[in-house]
Structures are given as C-alpha cells and as structure tokens.
Structure 1
Amino acid sequence: MRNLILLLSVFFSIATIAQDTGSIVGKITDKEYNNEPLAFANVLLKGTSKGVSSDFDGLYSFEDLGPGTWTVVFSFVGYVQQEIEVEVAVGKVTEVNVALGAGSVSLDEVVVAVSSSKDSEIALLLEQKKALAIQEAISAEALKLKGIDNAAAAVAQISGISKQQGSSNVYVRGLGDRYQNTTMNGLSLPSNDVNKKNMDLDIFGSSIIENVAVSKAFSSTFYGDFAAGNVNIDSKDYTGDGYLEVSLGSGINSNAAGKDFVRNEGPSDFGFYNRYNNNPFAIVLAHGVDPQEAWNPINISGAIEGGYSFSFGKESRLSFFGATSFKNGFELLEGPARDFTNVLKTDFPNVREYAYNTTTTALANIGYRINPKHKIKYSSLFINNSADAVGYYGINGQGTNRDAILNTDEGFYVMNAQFNQDMIFVNQLTGIHTFEDKITLGWGIGYNNVFSDEPDRKRITLENYQFALDGDNTTNPVFYTNIPFDNQRFFQSINDDELNSYINSGFKLSEKVKLNFGYNGRTKERRFQSIRYGYEILDRDNTSVTDVNNFNSIFDVSNINIPKGSGLYDLIVLNPISNEIGNKNRPGLPENTYTGNLDIHGVYASAEFSLGEKWTLVPGFRIESFSQSVAYDVINIRPDDPGFRSVYENIYLPSLNVRYALNDDSNLRMAFSKTASFPEFKEVAPFVYESVTQRIGGNPDLLGGLNGTGATYSDIYNYDLKYEWFLEQG
C-alpha cells in the first residue's frame, strides 16, 4: 500500500488548477443616501459582453480576467455613469469601490487597491459566499479596521469560535486544542508548547498576517486527523515601495506592581537560557536553588517591520518583508491548588506564583515573481517562548499532605521554581506555476525544528511550615523526605524535527466541472530525555530550616557529603554512569528517554459539479497511510513491557460538501465526512511528568495495545448544516 500511495501521489501531481488570470471586486455605495450599499447597480466591462449587477450588499465581482487594462463601467438609473480604467495582474485582486450619485463623482470617492484575494475584506466576503466548504476568514484589512493585534483575537471574531479569557486557548465549535490543526501557508506548524498540539495563535501579530481562515468542515485536502477544524494563517506578502516601521510600548499589571517580584536564577531578561552546553550535574554543584529578586515588574514590547520590492524588466519582481518583535509580561497568580484523584492527597489553600513570560518572533518573506506564470515564495519564522515561574504552595502554613511523615498532615509546603523555553524554527518554500490557461501546479515544502527545554527545575518540600511563621527560633520547619527526590533538581529536553510537503493540482474541464488532485505528507521525529538529582537529607530532624528564603545555606556545595560523614546531604541520581562509581554525588545518565516517529502520507481527489444556478456538489476521497512508533526507556514501565510500540494503518476518508444558493445573500450548506483521531506523542510515551499537584503520563497501549493488534485511532463522522445570511454592511 505504501508503494501504491507513492505512485498515486506522483500520478495525481501531474497537473492542477489555476489560471493565468486576475479579478476585479468591489463595493458600490449610494452617496445620495449616506453611502448605504447600492443594490442592482450595473457593472460592465467595456468592449465585452461581460456584466454583473451588485447584490444587496452592493458587492460585485469579475473573475478569470486576463492581465492588462480593463475599463469598468458603473451605472444606475438616474445616477451619473462612471468609467474607470483598472489594471489587472495575474493572481491579484483589484478592488474598486465606487460611490454613485446624481452628480459627478470626485476622485476621492473612487478607491482602487490591488492586493491578493486573501488580503481584501470584500474579496474574502465574496469568496465566502461562493466557497464550496464551510470556511470563514478574516483579512488583514479587517484586522486593521477592528484594531485586532494578533491571530487569536482574529479567529475569535468568527462565529462558532471562542477564546478563553486570559489565555491563548481557542475553541472551535466548543472543541479545544486536541481537536484542531494549525497551518501556515498551507503547511503544518509545530506547537510552541510540547504539551499542546497547536501553536498559540496570539504569537502571530497582525503585522505579519495576510489573512486567517478557519475551515470547520473537512475536505480531502486536509490531513485525516481532523475534528473541530483547521486554522490557516497566510503570512504577509509585500509588493509596494520600501518602508520601515518601529513601535514601542509598555504597561503595568496592577496585580504584580509594587510586589517583591522574584524570578529564577539563570535565564536572561529576554527569555534565553545560556547553560545548555553545561552538564546538569555541574549546574547543580555551581548554582543554588533560591530564586533571585527581579527588577520592577513593568511590561515592555517593541517591534520593527519593513519591506521593499523592485522589478527586473517588465515581468519579474523581487520582494522582501521582515518583522521582528519582543514582548514580556509579569503576572502574580494567587489561589488554591489540589491533588485530588480518588482521595484528596495534597491541598494548598493558598498558592502564590510569580510568573514572567517572554515572546520573541521574527518573520522573513522573500517573494520572486519570475513572470506572471511562475512565482516562488520563501518564508522563515523564528519564535522563542519562555515562562519563568516561581511558586510557593502552602504559604500560610495550611497546606496538607495525606502521606506526611509526621503525625500531623498540616504545614505542608512546596517551593517550585522552573523555567521553560521553546525555540521554534519554521522554514517554507512554496510555488505556483501556470502552464496553460486551465492547468496550474502548486507546491510547498517545509521544515520545522523545535527545541523545548525545562532546564534546572528546583523543588523543595517542607513539613511544619507553620513554624516558619510563629516568630519562635526554637521551632522550625523540616524537610519532607519520603523519597530523596522530594527535594530535587530536574532537567528535561525535547527536540522535534518535521518535514512536510504538499502538491496540489486540478483541471477545469468546463464551467460546470472542475477536478482536483493532490498529495500532502509529513514526517516527524521526537527525541526526549530527562534526569533528576535528588537531595537526600542525611539527618532531617537535625537539619531544620531556619530561613525559608535561604535554602542555599543548606544546599551549598560545601555541605555535600564528601568525604562520607562530613556533609548534610547526598546528591542521588537513579541512572549512574556505572555501577562501580555508584549513584551518590556523581554525575548520572538520563533516567527517562524516548524516541517517537510519525509518518503520514495522503493522496486525494475531488470534483466540483455546478448543477444549474443553485446547487454545487463537491465529492472528495482521501487515502492516507499512517505510521507511528515510540521506543522508550523509562523508570516506571511494567516488567513485561517491550519498550517499543509501532503501528501502521491505511485509512479511507470520503467527504461531501453541498452548497445551495437560496438567493444572492444567503446559502444553505451541508457537509458529511469521515475523519480520524490519532494519539499524540505525549499520549503514548509512558514518561510521567510530575508537577506539584499533578502526575501526567502517556499510555503506549494506545498504539495497538501490548501486542500491537488493538485499536490505533478513532473514527469520527462529521455532519454539518449551516445557514448563511450575508447582512448589509453599514
């Protein structure tokens, strides 16, 4: 079947659809009635038989126009006729907005703008009316008009999509991250958080967006792992004169202002960590556990963007666009935290966490139009996301632990200081090539690289913390030492590499029948490792904590138990370099590792049938091969576990999209499709991540069970019914 799919992908990629044409769209308003939309105005292309009438929203469009100069004639009974010369470019939309009236029209009442079809709000609205799938989009023009500054806020403007207040979580039809897909320029994007499937959309500022489109119904061009929808971001193209913009901003979080803010020792103010080349054992010896005081918690932001383009001869054009930005944020979070499974294990009624977050982004686009029939675009995106958090659990002495060593469960306290950094590199090369009036080839290839690290998390656990608050120097907290790793340093590293591509083709048989063929695929590898060093307190009863803000006085390297019997603690590692040197006060090897591989390759075909003036049917079919494996060596697997899982499946995914045009301003849409839900790496890798109040781990049996013969994915049947009513724009 692998060979069959490969042959089919080669065969289907021979040709595609696209024409060596451009479009004219626009809106006609009535200047005699406060510029309300003017319906049923006549719009003609002079010297041809082509003509249309504006709809109830005053909108009109001409598609499939050859490049060159066209004269557009606007008329309405009783109003002055207008003629405007319009230049049409291949692959572009020329937007001409006109206000008609009884008197002559001045130049400032005619607005002509040339853009891609995805940058124009009117073009997107017309496209949505005519779209064959259930899809909604918001353009760069609308982002500016509505003051929207990022992609997350943009999609929240679309019906059926909501954004969780105070977070970057976006819900499509009530379903969250697990059931969505995110792409840029039609190619897969990695997540900026390995615990999530999709990239946070608020990373994409409006200055780098051409448009954001949300497809709520499946079509054969999408990967089979589809449930809630697909969010695609088209990065900005620039074809105008040179420009440069610089912006700066600042702000204050009222919850954080005036507080004695603390941060981790080690990370820079810009969210980078510079000790990755150092051995974790050396870091533990050289650096303490206490957080450090932070400078005034003032949020700052800054951005630089610019573009330039120039022509070669009459047909070629080279364009450049670049944008970089930085922003940070201080937060003070307070509230309860609990570990509750079958019973309440730990309870912290009062938690205080100091959080410092940064985001650095850089985007570069280079576009080269060889001639009107051939265009290539290169896009490069860099993102650095960091989260620096210092949390104090049980700060008022009321924290409880069901498994406490002491007779009382009270006074349980945890200090957790961790830094998480995600660096993402996205590189894409796409092209569109037109060979005949009805044949075009579109393709894209992308490479994504992700480094996700949690370097040197410090966690210190105490009992009898209430004694730190009583002002009595004779009573003090003690370390909680159920196991040596209750007081620990933790290091985790994840590296993802992904190669993805697509090739899309089609053929226009007639005005009523269009065919579409294509292939898309992705290959991804993940490498994971983690290691802990535990502080084994040798005599906890005689090692009381006199100052809860100065743990370094105890965990200083001078107090390590070398030679034996001379110190306060031993450093314990589970996986020693060799049994001969042992696992105390020596560097170790990673205690948890896994490698995951994912291969998805699909070919598809669809057809578009126009039945009369009202009905349009788009049946489609996708064949997809899915291969996933994970090999692991972790500390918590059962004895009979082979340490490896691998599955391979071929799935067959039909789809049908139907549009019935009730009138010019309303559509009835119906869609049916079969899709699938595949497990993520984090869901199948048996490594257990331990936060203060949670233990989260994967289950390798999701990949076919212990013997590989069980279920590997879930079938999803999607039924969609949508009524669209395009109201008049005010």
Structure 2
Amino acid sequence: MKKLLVLFTIFTSAVAFAQSTGSVKGKLTDQEYNNEPLAFANVLIKGTTKGTTSDFDGLYYFDNIEPGNYTLVFSFVGYETQEVAVTVTPGKTEEVNIVMTASAASLDEVVVTTSTKRESETALLLEQKKAVEIKQSIGAEELTRKAVSNVEQGLTKVSGITTVQDRGIFVRGLDDRYNFLLVNGLPLASADPDNKIIPLSYIATSIVGSVDVLKTFNSSIYQDFAGATFQINTKQIPSQPVTVVNFGAGVNTNTTLKDFNIDNSGDLEFLGYTGGGRSLPGPYNKDATLGYTATPSESATMFDTSWTPETTKAPLSTRFGISHGQSIYNNGTDKVGFYFSLDYRNSFLTQQGVERALNSEGTAQQDFQTTNYNFSTQKSSLFGLNYKRNNNFNLLFNTIYLQNSSNFIREAAGENNGFTQLNDKVFYIRDTKYTENDLVSFQLLGEKSWRDDKHILSFGGSYALGNNNVPDRRVLRTAGEGEEAEYITTNGIDPFKFYQELENYNVNAKLDYQIGLQKNEELDKYTAILKAGYNYDEISYDFFNRTISVDQNYNGVLPFINTNDPQAFFDQGFEDGYLFYRNTADPQAKSFIDQSIHAGYLDFTKEWDRLLVQIGVRGEYAYRKITYREQLTSINSPYSELEYEPFDISPSFNVKYTLNDVSNIRIAGSKTVTRPRLREILPTTFQDGDGNQVIGNPEIENSKNYNLDLKYEIFPSNSEVLAFTAFGKFIDSPIERLSRATSVGYRTYFDNFDQAYIYGVEIEAKLNIGNVTNTEVLEGFTFGLNGILMDSEASADPDSDEFASVTNTNRKLQGASDWGINTDLSYKLVDKGETNSSLNLIFNTYGRRIYAVGVEGADEIYEKPINQLDFSWNTQFNEKIGLRFTVRNILNEKTLFTQDATQEVQFPEKYSNIIESFNQGVNFSFNLTYKL
C-alpha cells in the first residue's frame, strides 16, 4: 500500500509539473536543397544553456520549459542565422518551423571553416539512410580526415572496393571493365584505351564535394552496370568568399635523392606537357600512308629526342593547388556564384624487381631483373558558375579539365629465349615511353520546379574532348649491357620508335521529368512519384599508330653499342651511312570506333508509413561500329566495317522497409549489361617491345548481368552505421583477359567466356568506440570497417570448340578475390576551440585473384594480396592554417604475380612460379593548407 502511495505521489507530481511547463518543437528545412530536411543544425534558447540539434528528419524538440517569452536561435555553417520569438504556455507544445537559407555575408563577417552540408560525413550518412537504392558515399570531410589526395584512394575506404597500382578500382571482385562513371549525373568517357573509366587517381579531391558508390541499379542510371556506378559530385559553390592555398611535398624511400633516369625531351617536362619535342617528322605524319625510308643524313636530324636518358637525382615529389569560391550576386531572388580550383601533383618512383614468362612446364622463356623509373604528373581543374532564381530554378555550368602524364623508362636484363643472337650475353632492353592524357569537358545542368515541387524538370548536357598520346616511344634491345653490348635484331624487328594517338569526342544529354502524384500534407512531401527520362551518349574514337625502325646495311660485324649512351652509336651510324630510319606501309595504322546510346526509362516510387518501393524499367539501344583493316591486307584495301547493335531492356526494383527510427532492411534486383573497354575491341596489336603483345577482339559482345542484393543497416547515431549485405550476380558471357605464352613473351587477348556467378556478404561499420563500450575515455576513438567475403565461378562447356584453348574451363572469375578488408582507426587528439588534431591508421588488403586466364595448357596468372598500412596526422591550428602528415605503404610489401606449372617440372630446384614482382617503397609526405 505504501509503495502504491509513493508511486501515485510521483505520478501526480510529474503530471502537475508537466502541466506547469511547456514544450517547443519544429522542423528545419533547407531552401538550397528544395526544402529537404536540414539535419544537424543548431537550435538554442537565447539567454539560457538549453540547446539541441535537428535530427535526420530536420526535427528538434525542447520539453519542460518554464512559461514565458523566449527567443530561439537557429544556425548552421554557411546559412543565415535566424532568431524567432516564441511564447511558452503551460501544458502546450508550440511549433516553430524554419526554412534556412544560404548566407550572403562577406568574408569580413564570417569565414567558412567546415564543410558544406553535402560534403560532411553525417549528412552523407543521412542520405544513405533515406535513399531507396543501396549506396555508400564519401565526402570532402572524410577525404580530408583520411588524408587522401585523389578519388581512388578515397574509394578504397568503401566496402567491397580494392585497388592495385594503376589498374583501377575493383568492386566486389569485378575490375574496371564492370564499372561506370558519372560526373554530376553525366557520363565522362576515358581517353585512355586501357581504362573503361577515367582512372580515379587522376581526379584530385580538391574538385570533389562527394562521391556516391551505387551498388544497385535503378532505371535512371546507365545500363552498363555490374560492379558499381560512381557518381562524382563536384564542389558546391560556397555562400561566403573563401580562398584556399595548399602546398605539399613527399619522399619515397626507393627513389628520393637517388639516381633517377628520365627522358627530358618535352618543352615543359616538369608540368607534364611534351609540346613539340616528341612530334612526328613530316614523312611519317598521320597523313602519310606509304612506307618511307630516310637517308642516313636525313635520319641524323629527323628527331629531336635522344636514345640516351638523362640521369639525375630524384627530387621530392610536390603538390600545390589553389581554390576560390564565392557568391557574386544576391538580391534575394536571383543568386549567382562561382567556384574555381586548380591542383597539380607529381611523383618520382623507382621500382626494382623481376619479370618472367613461363611455359606450362615452369621453364622461363624470359627471366629479367628490371628497374622502372616513372615521373608522373596529374592536373585537375574545375570552374563552376551557378545561377539560382526563387529557389525553383537552378542552372550550373562546369568546365572540368584533367591531364596526366607518365615519363616512364624500363630497363631489363636477363634471359630471353626468343632472341637467338645473344652470343652468351644477357638480353637487355630499355623501353622509353612517354604517355599523356588530356580531357576537357563542358557541362550544363539545370533544374526547374513548380507548384511546390509537384513538377520537377531536370536537364543537362556535356561536350568533352579527349586525347591519349604516346609520342616517340623508343625501344632499344641489345646483347649484353654496358660499353660492349651488341646491336641485335630478330625476325627483322630492329630497335624502333612507336607513336600512338587516340582522339575522342563525347557528347551526351539527359532529360528527366518527375511528377508528384500523392502528397502527405503533414510531412509536406510527395509519397508517390512518377519519373520518365531520356539519355543520349555518343563517343567517337580516332586511333592512329606508327612504328619506325632503325635499319642497317653494315657489311660485317657492327661496332659495339654502349647502353649507357646509345645515342652516340646511332649518331656514328648515321654519319657513316649504315644506319637509317624506315617504316613499311601499315594497313592497321588507322581505325575508327563509333558508339552511341539512346535510352529511355520509366520509374515509379511509392512510400507508405514504413515501406518505400521503387520499380523501373530502362531500354537502351547501343550501337557500335568498328572501321578497320585486317592485319594482312594492303593499305589500298577497303576498310572493313563491323557493326553491333543490341537493344536491351533492364527492369529493376529497390525496396526499403524501415524497421524503426534507426534501422532499415533493403532488397534490390536488376538486369544489366557490361560493355568492353576500348583496348579489348581495338583491332590493333600493341607491342611491348620485349615480345609481349596485347591484341583486341572487335567481335566481343556485351555481357548480361543479373543482380540481387539484400541489406540490413543500423544507424546508432548521426555519425555511426553498421550494415550487412548479402549479394549475388550471374553473368552471361563475361568478358575475360586471356594470356598465351609464346616463344618471345606473353600474348594477351580478350574474349567472351560462357558464364560466371558471384555471391558473397559485405559488412560496413563506422562506430565511436566510446559509445559502443560506454567508456568515456574511449570517446575520442572512431573505428571504421568495410569487409567482403565472397565466392565466384566462371565455367564453360569443356567440349566446346570455342573454349578448347582455355586450360581450366571451371575456375574463379578473372579479377575476383574471395575476400577484402578496408579498415581505419581514428583518434581525436585535440578538439579545443579553433584547434583540432586527429590521428588515423588505415589498413587495406584483399585475397588472391586471377590476373589473366591461362590457355593452351598454361595455368592462370595470379595476383598476390598486398597488405597496405597508412598513417595520417591531421591538424587544424586555427580557421586559417592546417597541416597534414602522412605515411603510406608502411609495410612496403612487393607486388607479386605467379603462374604454376601444369606439367611435371624437370628441374624443381630451379623452379620458381614468380612471373612479376616489384617493390613500392614507403611514402612520407606533408601538406600545408592556408585559407586567405
């Protein structure tokens, strides 16, 4: 009885207290983002210590407030601070809803020191939670925290993604061939024939606001989808003027301040521009169709480049950049702003290792000790101009410029059974190759809404020009190395110069109309939406290559050639009249590829209380025409044309069920296609100089993919997530890289296999250790984990003539690892006033995978895992100065490719299955940022 009396007293007192106080609630929306909820904004009661932040849905709430008159203060970085008076009445809840608008304040009034909404980790987690499709995003804030300087490094922090050196992004074991790239919703074609998408290492984070990784298909993105579609969203235009200058430098333990060989033939070599220094001479230019033999005297002055590299000490790698953005006009109705960014990076890298070519018995056809020197540069630039009117019309014009260069020298010496004129000397090769990629894209994007967003019309288009240039590649081969090497030739293949140029243009457009069919007035949003759209994408490639040999007519034994100064040998030969340049008419010198896509789609989204369903269908007509001459035809033969014009229908569904306020369950399914890289269909033989070749196959067809995903996700707080995904893919006619050993090296080619499947599970976690363990001392620690465990199988009918040459018709899918881990541990060292400092430890690894499929009895070539451990220390001293120190590849593991013998090994004590291995070195760097 006494207990009941106590409980009754407590209850009545609580009711009485509640009736004597009041509450305030409301919702904050973002005018800059079509009145979407504004999360994580600050709400304070002026003159008191009471404060809160808006939640994922923009909602805030104060309870138990004494009656009276108060002023609420609403603030968010980059937005106008608003003050609103409110009267609190006993027993009642007052509602105050606020629309937040971007600030038009000048730099003198405020300086932006944190990222804008779309670039912050918490805002991107909010998007991930609300999105109907399965996706993950990484923004400028997280890219900065993890000390990454380009997009590729940043994406290795996403579950199921790995990358190795210059071979692009692997998603769920699927390599670059299975990915697609959008920039602000528009495709951006790669200028490099060896890459399906632009290598994301070329794109500096200074021009990126965020990157979305779409792992499930929806009808509004392009049908070329199997691994992921990457959506790069360029930097937003800030509401206040802000200028950022950065400078960085780095050291590589293999390279810095050590001897370094470089081909210094360009006009602006440091900046990565070759100019006219490596241009083709007139008799061999692109318009020349017949072969031409130059006289010795003409040969002596025909080229400006040298066969002798310059040896220097490798300096520090460097980086510098500048960006500026501001609003330049705002009258309350019309707003105009711009953003400009320019970033330059270079690096010097020396690698030493081995390269071998093995037959099915494990015997080495080639066995080289190799040293590679590579001076590379990357430039990224963005200029954006944005116009907004009345918050219902938005127009954005972007100019994006990307340029990269590689000044590469490979020196290898050892055994090469394909060359018989060695006279018991080692085979020596020096391959001097300069590569330059340029791309400029002009984008225009717009959006118009009316009738409170019941109707939304989105449109956009872009025009891009790309160029891949390999000018004056020089391949020198000798018997022996040093001062008494012998000039050699095999089967008429002399030392040669090689030129390659690939020009392309890319035009695309999109039109998208969305209508809201049902509106929930209480939530102020449409719960049924119908969307229809059209996409057009056209790419034209113009390919040219030219090989010019150094021929000789010397009677007797040629003089020795000094591999340390081969130019002296050629100068003497030209002067004495026994060396000269020549080429033969090449019917494959030019080829043309035209591709175009016409696509239409329909998408319907319906939202109930907890259920969100999106169903769609997309149809694409993808035309491809390859114009080329066969290898053994004449230069006077007519061009052959090979056309391929499939029409594919891609249905898709994405379903999200909200279990509670912090967790969702999702399921998605779709049918998509995969189109080949340019190199895989280019009807040209690419020579590596040492006997290795890459041959395209113009008859490759698109793969068809069937995708299914199931995901469960929990959001413990606005900065934490824990998610589990199960997925499966069936691929009909997968495109694969095959490798055949020849007498002088490897011949790589491509073809459709029969079928393959992949299935696995992923885990994604971003957790505050203090929250998880309920330990205050650990609250400064944040743990991130992205992991994948999967299996795959590629199979074909072993009795089929089509796959008779493939050694193993049942095996793992080429490029697929069984597992992968990306994890990081962060510690907030200092967080006081304007000063904050954090330490980050980042680890990435993956399981062994097939690099190339073996044929004619040879086994597959396997790629060994690389365990990479990185460290970064980021410090922001005040609102102006920041410093970042990083150490990359701390474990300094070697790349390793292996190929096992499939037949009995005759000399097991001499046998090694290693075909390639290189060290990387440890990289130390610092970067200083200053805000003006």
Q: Which residue of 1 aligns with 2:151?
A: 151
Secondary structure of 1:261's match?
strand
Residues 207-222 of structure 1 mapped to structure 2, 5 A cutoff: 207-222=206-221
Q: Does 1:43 align with 2:60?
A: yes
Q: 1:407 to 1:296 in 2, by over 3 A?
A: closer
Aligned amino acid, residue 324 of structure 1 = L
Summarize deviations over 1:627-647 as a string: whole Å, max 9, x none: 001111353579999732111
Q: Distance in 2 between matches of 1:391 and 1:358?
A: 18
Deviation at 1:245?
2.2
Per mean C-alpha deviation after superposition, the further-off stretch among 499-508 and 450-459 is 499-508
Aligned amino acid, residue 272 of structure 1 = Y
Q: Which residue of 1 aligns with 2:629?
A: 633
Deviation at 1:416?
0.8
Q: Which residue of 2 aligns with 1:203?
A: 202
Q: Which residue of 2 aligns with 1:362?
A: 381
Secondary structure of 2:237's match?
coil
Q: 1:720 to 1:409 in 2, by over 3 A?
A: farther
Summarize deviations over 1:460-509 as a string: whole Å, max 9, x none: 111244xx4xxxx8xx3212211443300111111010001111221110
Q: 1:591 to 1:72 in 2, by over 3 A?
A: farther
Q: 1:409 to 1:695 in 2, by over 3 A?
A: farther
Q: Does 1:436 align with 2:451?
A: yes
Q: Distance in 1 between matches of 2:390 and 2:446?
A: 12
Q: Which residue of 2 aligns with 1:335?
A: 353
Q: Contact 1:128–1:136 (CA<8 Å) still a contact in 2? A: yes
Q: Contact 2:341–2:383 (CA<8 Å) still a contact in 1? A: yes
Partner residue of 2:539 out of 524, 533, 538:
524
Q: Which residue of 2 aligns with 1:426?
A: 441
Per mean C-alpha deviation after superposition, the further-off stretch among 367-376 and 413-422 is 367-376
Q: 1:571 to 1:483 in 2, by over 3 A?
A: farther
Over aligned residues, Cα RMSD in angstroms? 3.9
Q: Which residue of 2 aligns with 1:559?
A: 573
Deviation at 1:371?
3.2
Aligned amino acid, residue 274 of structure 1 = G
Q: Distance in 2 between matches of 1:498 and 1:39?
A: 39
Q: Which residue of 1 aligns with 2:35?
A: 21
Q: 1:481 to 1:145 in 2, by over 3 A?
A: closer
Per mean C-alpha deviation after superposition, the further-off stretch among 225-234 and 719-728 is 719-728
Q: Which residue of 2 aligns with 1:650?
A: 647
Residues 174-573 of structure 1 mapped to structure 2, 5 A cutoff: 174-191=173-190, 193-267=192-266, 268-275=269-276, 278-279=280-281, 281=284, 284-294=302-312, 296-340=314-358, 346-394=365-413, 399-406=414-421, 411-437=426-452, 438-465=454-481, 468=482, 476-511=484-519, 512-539=527-554, 542-556=557-571, 559-560=573-574, 567-573=577-583
Q: Distance in 2 between matches of 1:668 and 1:25?
A: 22
Residues 710-721 of structure 1 mapped to structure 2, 5 A cutoff: 712-721=701-710
Q: 1:73 to 1:180 in 2, by over 3 A?
A: farther
Q: Distance in 1 between matches of 2:338 and 2:401?
A: 17
Q: Which residue of 2 aligns with 1:676?
A: 673
Residues 159-170 of structure 1 mapped to structure 2, 5 A cutoff: 159-164=159-164, 166-167=165-166, 169-170=168-169
Q: Which residue of 1 aligns with 2:27?
A: none
Q: 1:628 to 1:168 in 2, by over 3 A?
A: closer
Q: 1:42 to 1:623 in 2, by over 3 A?
A: closer
TM-score using structure 2 length: 0.62
Summarize deviations over 1:555-609 as a string: whole Å, max 9, x none: 12x6338xxxx6222322011xxxxxxxxxxxxx785211000001110001112
Deviation at 1:381?
1.1
Secondary structure of 1:287's match?
coil
Q: 1:155 to 1:41 in 2, by over 3 A?
A: closer
Q: Distance in 1 between matches of 2:466 and 2:255?
A: 31
Q: Which residue of 2 aligns with 1:699?
A: 697
Summarize deviations over 1:412-471 as a string: whole Å, max 9, x none: 111111100111111111001113220011111011111110000111111244xx4xxx
Q: Distance in 1 between matches of 2:197 and 2:457?
A: 29
Q: Distance in 2 between matches of 1:41 and 1:519?
A: 33
Q: Which residue of 2 aligns with 1:9?
A: none
Deviation at 1:20?
5.1
Q: Contact 1:592–1:634 (CA<8 Å) still a contact in 2? A: no
Aligned amino acid, residue 384 of structure 1 = Q
Q: 1:458 to 1:634 in 2, by over 3 A?
A: farther
Q: Distance in 2 between matches of 1:189 and 1:316?
A: 30
Q: Distance in 1 between matches of 2:239 and 2:566?
A: 59
Q: Which residue of 2 aligns with 1:53?
A: none
Q: Contact 1:384–1:424 (CA<8 Å) still a contact in 2? A: yes
Q: Which residue of 1 aligns with 2:135?
A: 135
Q: Which residue of 1 aligns with 2:619?
A: 623
Deviation at 1:27?
7.0
Structure 1: gaps (5+ residues): 1-17, 47-66, 94-111, 576-588, 703-711
Deviation at 1:44?
5.5
Structure 2: gaps (5+ residues): 1-31, 64-79, 104-111, 285-298, 520-526, 720-767, 769-932
Q: Distance in 1 between matches of 2:87 and 2:320?
A: 45
Q: 1:675 to 1:82 in 2, by over 3 A?
A: same
Q: Contact 1:454–1:492 (CA<8 Å) still a contact in 2? A: yes
Secondary structure of 1:509's match?
strand
Deviation at 1:33?
14
Q: Distance in 1 between matches of 2:427 and 2:466?
A: 37
Deviation at 1:663?
1.9
Q: Distance in 2 between matches of 1:234 and 1:218?
A: 18
Q: Does 1:600 align with 2:597?
A: yes
Secondary structure of 1:560's match?
helix
Q: Distance in 1 between matches of 2:619 and 2:592?
A: 27
Deviation at 1:217?
0.5
Deviation at 1:720?
1.1
Q: 1:355 to 1:693 in 2, by over 3 A?
A: farther
Aligned amino acid, residue 695 of structure 1 = Q
Secondary structure of 1:290's match?
coil
Q: 1:632 to 1:248 in 2, by over 3 A?
A: same
Aligned amino acid, residue 142 of structure 1 = E
Deviation at 1:286?
4.1
**Taking every aligned residue pair, what percent have the same amino acid on both sides?**
24
Q: Distance in 1 between matches of 2:33 and 2:246?
A: 40
Q: Contact 2:279–2:471 (CA<8 Å) still a contact in 1? A: no
Q: Distance in 1 between matches of 2:470 and 2:179?
A: 26
Q: Which residue of 2 aligns with 1:57?
A: none
Secondary structure of 1:152's match?
helix
Deviation at 1:139?
2.5
Q: Distance in 1 between matches of 2:485 and 2:340?
A: 55
Q: Contact 1:72–1:85 (CA<8 Å) still a contact in 2? A: no
Per mean C-alpha deviation after superposition, the further-off stretch among 194-203 and 495-504 is 194-203
Summarize deviations over 1:290-320 as a string: whole Å, max 9, x none: 1123454321111111112122422111111
Q: Contact 1:124–1:138 (CA<8 Å) still a contact in 2? A: yes
Q: Does 1:726 align with 2:734?
A: no
